[in-house]
Amino acid sequence: MKQPIQKSAIPESKTFLIQELKDAYFDPNWHFHHEYQLFVVLKGTGTRFIGNDISHFEAGDMVFTGSNLPHVWRSDEAYFENHDLQTHGIVIYFSDNFMGDSFLNKEEMSGIRELFQRANRGLEVTGHTKNFILKKMKALLKQDGFDGVLTLLQILNIIADSTEVKYINKAGYLNTVTNSDSERMRNVHDFILNNYKGNILLNDAASLANLSPTSFSRYFKARTNKTFSDFVTELRIGQACKLLLNKDASITQIAYECGYQTLSHFNRKFKETTGTNPMNYKKAYSSLN
């Protein structure tokens, strides 16, 4: 098993790092790093995991993550199976002290300073702000030197002042994942993602983490802020929501594809998670289009 990837090794000579990502699929490894990250999806679909949030992503998804906030944009299975598909994104990495503590603590920088604190829960950028920031990110790809630093500061200031920014994780979210957890949690995370369609058992995940089931349950909840069972359920129902909106299949077929062996069990879990049943969920979405 390879070690967690340090994806944002910013050269000592640089203030920040910006990369244009084009590949068959986004890196599927759950990870975290010290640097702050602003990422926008230009092409591709899948499921993103940020902190303890599980959500669908597609082109236009723009997220700002804080230091050491665990995350992964997991491409849909089709991207791993069909080499004609491709993902595309732009990512910026920078450290919270790239301006120096003295400058960051000045009165004029209070908005950006607060933005860094808010980013610990993950932030999704939407609306006109997202479109404007995207133009700035594309321009930044072609800039270097002082012009690049100015554009980055403009991006951060715009996000800090915008009302089109929403938290991804709920108030009270506490990130307790440490470097010593990284490989163990990544293995467990990959196990869930690769097996949620089948009969996934807590005992199997516990064994993978070299813990007893009881110890693993405590360990997992302490690091994800939710139980193992709730995590699996949210992943399955999230996939079901996406399939209901984008796939011409029966609800029974979708239930089975998402790991549920009976329609009654699927309907019960779907309503517990979303507050409605699958058919009404699909009808409500259709009425908006």
The DSSP element (H or E) to which 239 belongs, if any, is helix 228-246
Say what the pLDDT of residue 288 is. 55
3-state secondary structure of 225: coil
Q: Which residues pair with 46 in a beta bridge?
A: 57, 75
**What angle do helix axes 213-224 and 228-246 make, rounded to 10 degrees?**
60
Q: Which residues of the chain have pLDDT under 50?
A: 1-8
Contacts of 218 (CB under 8 A, 6+ apart): none
Say what the pLDDT of residue 4 is. 38
**What angle do helix axes 263-274 and 228-246 make, rounded to 10 degrees?**
100
Say what the pLDDT of residue 101 is. 79
Say what the pLDDT of residue 6 is. 43
Q: Is 202 exposed, middle or buried (0-12, 13-18, 19+ CB in 10 A)?
A: middle
Q: In whole angstroms, what separates CA 276 from the centre of its chain? A: 25
At 124-134, the pLDDT tens digits run 999 999 999 99
Say what the pLDDT of residue 189 is. 87
Say what the pLDDT of residue 30 is. 87
- The DSSP result for 67-114, as a single string, is TT--EEEEE-HHHHH-TT--EEEEEEEE-TTTT-HHHHTSGGGHHHHH
Q: Is 211 exposed, middle or buried (0-12, 13-18, 19+ CB in 10 A)?
A: middle
Per-residue CA distances from 140 to 88, 127, 149, 154 (Å)? 16, 20, 9, 11
